[in-house]
Amino acid sequence: MSRPARISFVSLGCPKALVDSERIITRLRAEGYELARDHAGADLAIVNTCGFLNSAQTESLSAIGAAMAENGKVIVTGCMGAEPQKITSVHPGVFAITGPHQYESVLDAVHRAVPPQHDPYANLIPPQGVKLTPRHYAYLKISEGCNNRCTFCIIPKLRGDLVSRPAAEILREAERLVGAGVKELLVISQDTSAYGVDLKYAASSWRGREVRAKFLDLARELGELDVWVRLHYVYPYPHVDDVIPLMADGKVLPYLDVPFQHASPDVLKRMRRPAAQERTLRRIAAWRQMCPSLTIRSTFIVGFPGETKDDFALLLDWLDEAQLDRVGCFRYEAVDGAVANDLGAPVPQAVKEERYSRLMARQQAISAKRLKRKVGSRERVIIDEVGPTVAKGRGKGDAPQIDGAIHVASHRPLRVGEIATVKIERADEYDLYGTAIGY
């Protein structure tokens, strides 16, 4: 029999795109295709693109260019695939283009390019599917698309309205992942707190009981799987309050990733952000009262069209009061097709840079102060990387890739995926340092 067809794969963009890549690769492996490390020598190359910002589109186009040069037979999928002319105008020779989540179309295109060698055998793939993330943590995507219409965002245009997965389907996937050794589940979607709205919260059957497609019900069931469960992209709607007791009880990690994006009511209104009207400072205080160990992470955009000096000053004051643990910041970047571009005078680049630096400096002091409070405490730490003398891991307050790390000295070698108890001895702006005292 001839050798299996080999496919090289490039995955760009956010964790949601990574989940798409994992699904495509799982299907390809199930059909007998093999993955190639390099484009050169592969039978076909697939590029999963990101089209969120113009800079991401440029990166995607250059990744396609590299695949074209090194291989020549290229399938493009992902967010940028929603606008094929942008791709064909630069790379007219691509073999096929499909949009985000069009797994079937990607597979069809692969079959046309290099027909499968033999029938699928389920046992070609591990039971949890192929994970591009390390085996001890995995992203769990609970819905696709988004019902919001934030004016700076073209995701709904690219990915469509919210489509939630039934609760039982998500829980079965989570159970499979846990059975395969995953210790931490990262729940993702475009708007996690809106989960199930499109399904009218319909229940589905899981372990002999009916589980509604509701944020709280899903979080409660995931909390029963006895692994770390981390919630991302949660908006400060009132019903989020209900999930905090699960965090206080240790069922779900005391961690909330809430992309606030701004604090000025005027900017938030023009951004058309979900929950823009909510009294977020009061809500944050109430969350912390219910669960004092809660870590709140957020992202902000500076230089949104029409953002005034006063808007920005209000944002800095808000940060002082909110005392968030972790913050990421973006300078507004015009995205073709985004409504926001026409909503106000563009903020000059130099002003954006200045506001970015001021925000980061202000927040760095807050983050450092909050991290310092952990010195002397004992933290459970999941180990991501091991070195000869020190391992690198994360506590309950740190998500992979986006938050800081905990550097752990240990008397015995630690294993990747192991969860150790660590006495924290030192902190800097982003990271903690300590010694393992329990395994």
Token look-up 């469960």 returns 229
Nearer to ligand SF4, 64 or 150 (CB): 150
Nearer to ligand SF4, 98 or 190 (CB): 190
- What is residue 70's three-state secondary structure? helix
Beta-strand (E) ranges in 74-225? 74-78, 96-97, 137-141, 143-144, 163-164, 184-188, 203-206, 209-212
- Least separation in angstroms between CB 258 and ligand SF4: 11
Could you give the CA distance from residue 343 to residue 315 in angstroms, rounded to a whole number? 19
- Least separation in angstroms between CB 191 and ligand SF4: 5
Residue whose C-alpha is closest to residue 46's, from 81, 88, 16, 4: 81
- What is residue 175's three-state secondary structure? helix
Is residue 79 close enough to count as binding ligand SF4 by CB under 6 A? no
- Least separation in angstroms between CB 257 and ligand SF4: 12
- Least separation in angstroms between CB 346 and ligand SF4: 19
Could you give the CA distance from residue 345 to residue 100 in angstroms, rounded to a whole number? 32
Token look-up 């489509």 returns 163
Stretch that binds ligand SF4, among 30-38, 145-153, 170-178, 415-423 (CB under 6 A): 145-153
Show the site string, 149-188: x = touches ligand SF4 by CB under 6 A, - = not. xx--x-xx--------------------------------
Q: Are 384 and 400 in contact (CB under 8 A)?
A: yes
Show the site string, 259-298: x = touches ligand SF4 by CB under 6 A, - = not. ---------------x------------------------
Is residue 258 close enough to count as binding ligand SF4 by CB under 6 A? no
- Least separation in angstroms between CB 399 and ligand SF4: 17
- What are residue 416's phi and psi, to 5 degrees? -60, 130
Nearer to ligand SF4, 190 or 298 (CB): 190
- What is residue 414's three-state secondary structure? coil
Could you give the CA distance from residue 63 to residue 296 in angstroms, rounded to a whole number? 34
User: How many amino acids of this chain bind ligand SF4 (CB under 6 A)?
Assistant: 10
- Least separation in angstroms between CB 259 and ligand SF4: 7
Binding stretches for ligand SF4 (CB under 6 A): 146, 148-150, 153, 155-156, 190-191, 274
